[in-house]
């Protein structure tokens, strides 16, 4: 059998985009979809006997499902496509109905103007077929200019653009141009907020969310996106002269209250990262908001009321300190001695010490929280000092002990 030529394409071979993708499908022996840069379907190959759920949904709605786009961003697939001119293999993700794929970006100069997606069915594409696909992307550039029609960006397009901003793949100039294109006022400063929901956000819940965002009287929502159980938004106060932290906290309180009272959606507790002026800091604000959620989950008693990254205090640095501890291979001997004593004698001295420090060394509050008498607490603190051989009245020693106690839970 003669191998197919690696570049069997000529511009004058096709009278439409449909004839082009059918030819690519015939050469690669698999279903082909041609998309614009916002993941809207332009054309797809005909006579495909086999496919997967994502492709069926994409063809029906004429756009890749939002949850699939968000997942591909999170897994680094789309960032790869925005950097590479070579085809990229994508492992299937059964949980979202996505089979194995190969995708290649279509470039015009330094700009991605579309994508070709190939569904790998029974067997992966060979090296020769990967080269054919790469060459198909080159000819597709000319065909897109010739046949495609420009369409106005939709809400989904804006959400996909927001993911680019969140992951740091859009520069300041492009973001400002997008804001101008959407007719938005200049954003003086902003923060990124995350609202984790107890279950996956379905269409009905999404409708309620979008309504509340639209009618908000506390902040202006410039961009938003939904990813499985999370709502992520870029917000700025309606009045730039107001205290932004107060505005953001008020919005979070009102949003959670309205979700519960109007739509019976409970257990949603938002968080926001730092407040910035430059859009290059969007990924940083996102990471900080996630840190708030992570700290609240690991230290619920001490941090359940925290919503803002600055409220975390020393909790901001626990991941950095833990990494240093791991690199150094060191342990806090004083805490280790106390832990071993507890294990041998079935005592709770380590827990007592942590509560004592959490309660700012208040005897009354610590005893009440532990449900013990003050005299019992005094005896425990004396034994703790003897076993640890550390004077926790010295600020530097006390601070290190406190940090290492928290690192044990990180």
Residues 204 and 132 in one domain: no
Structure tokens that stand for 9 in this block = 């394409």
Residues 107 and 233 in one domain: no
Residues 222 and 296 in one domain: yes
State pLDDT tens for residues 272-297: 999 999 999 999 999 999 999 999 99
Last residue of a domain, one of 113, 147, 181: 147
Residues 301 and 354 in one domain: no
Last residue of a domain, one of 319, 345, 377: 319
Residues 92 and 172 in one domain: no
In a domain, 58, yes or no: yes
What distance in Å separates the CA atoms of residue 241 and residue 244, rounded to the nearest whole number? Answer: 8
Residues 249 and 292 in one domain: yes
For 64, half-sphere exposure in the C-beta direction (CA atoms, 13 angstrom radius) is 26
State pLDDT tens for residues 222-235: 899 988 899 999 99
Q: How many structural domains does the chain have? A: 3
Q: What does residue 12 show for φ and ψ, rounded to 5 degrees?
A: -85, 5
State pLDDT tens for residues 141-157: 999 888 766 554 555 66
| Band of pLDDT at residue 240, cut at 50, 70 and 90 | confident
Q: Does residue 103 sit in helix, strand or coil? A: strand
CB-CB contact of 177 with 279 (8 Å): no
The predicted pLDDT at position 4 comes to 57
Residues 171 and 264 in one domain: yes
Residues 304 and 264 in one domain: yes
Torsion of CA 140, 143, 144, 147, to 10 degrees: -150
Q: Tell me which residue range forms the domain holding 285.
A: 155-319
Residues 166 and 296 in one domain: yes
Residues 212 and 295 in one domain: yes
Domain CATH code at residue 377: 1.10.10.2840
In a domain, 255, yes or no: yes
In a domain, 2, yes or no: no
Question: What percentage of the chain reaches a pLDDT higher than 90?
Answer: 48
Residues 180 and 306 in one domain: yes
Residues 160 and 274 in one domain: yes
Full-model pTM = 0.64
């Amino acid at each position: 059998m003669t191998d197919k030529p690696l570049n069997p394409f000529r511009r004058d071979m096709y009278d439409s985009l449909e004839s082009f993708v059918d030819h690519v499908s015939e050469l690669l022996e698999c279903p082909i979809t041609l998309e614009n840069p916002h993941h809207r379907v332009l054309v797809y190959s005909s006579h495909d006997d086999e496919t997967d759920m994502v492709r069926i949904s994409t063809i029906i709605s004429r756009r890749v499902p939002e949850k699939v786009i968000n997942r591909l961003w999170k897994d680094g697939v789309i960032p790869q496509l925005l950097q590479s001119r070579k085809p990229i293999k994508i492992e299937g993700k059964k949980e979202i109905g996505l089979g194995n794929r190969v995708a290649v970006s279509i470039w015009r100069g330094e700009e991605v103007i579309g994508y070709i997606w190939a569904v790998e069915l029974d067997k992966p594409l060979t090296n020769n077929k990967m080269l054919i696909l790469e060459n198909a992307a080159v000819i597709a550039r000319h065909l897109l200019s010739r046949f495609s029609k420009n369409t106005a960006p939709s809400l989904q397009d804006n959400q996909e653009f927001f993911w680019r901003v969140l992951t740091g793949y859009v520069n300041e100039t492009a973001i400002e141009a997008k804001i101008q294109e959407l007719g938005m006022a200049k954003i003086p400063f902003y923060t990124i907020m995350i609202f984790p929901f107890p279950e996956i956000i379905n269409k009905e819940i999404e409708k309620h969310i979008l309504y509340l965002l639209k009618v908000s009287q506390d902040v202006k929502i410039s961009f938003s996106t939904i990813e499985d159980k999370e709502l992520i938004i870029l917000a700025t106060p309606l009045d730039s002269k107001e205290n932004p932290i107060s505005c953001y906290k008020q919005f979070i309180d009102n949003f959670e209250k309205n979700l519960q009272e109007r739509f019976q959606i409970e257990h949603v507790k938002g968080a926001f990262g730092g407040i910035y002026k430059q859009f290059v800091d969007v990924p940083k604000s996102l990471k900080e908001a996630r840190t708030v959620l992570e700290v609240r989950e690991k230290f619920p008693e001490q941090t359940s009321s925290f919503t803002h990254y600055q409220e975390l205090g020393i909790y901001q640095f626990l991941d950095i300190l833990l990494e240093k501890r791991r690199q150094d291979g060191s342990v806090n001997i004083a805490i280790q001695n106390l832990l071993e004593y507890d294990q041998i004698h079935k005592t709770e001295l380590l827990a007592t010490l942590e509560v004592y420090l959490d309660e700012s060394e208040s005897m009354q509050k610590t005893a009440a929280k532990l449900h013990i008498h003050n005299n019992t607490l005094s005896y425990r603190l004396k034994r703790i000092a003897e076993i640890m051989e550390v004077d926790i009245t010295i600020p530097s020693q006390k601070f290190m002990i406190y940090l290492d106690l928290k690192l044990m839970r990180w």
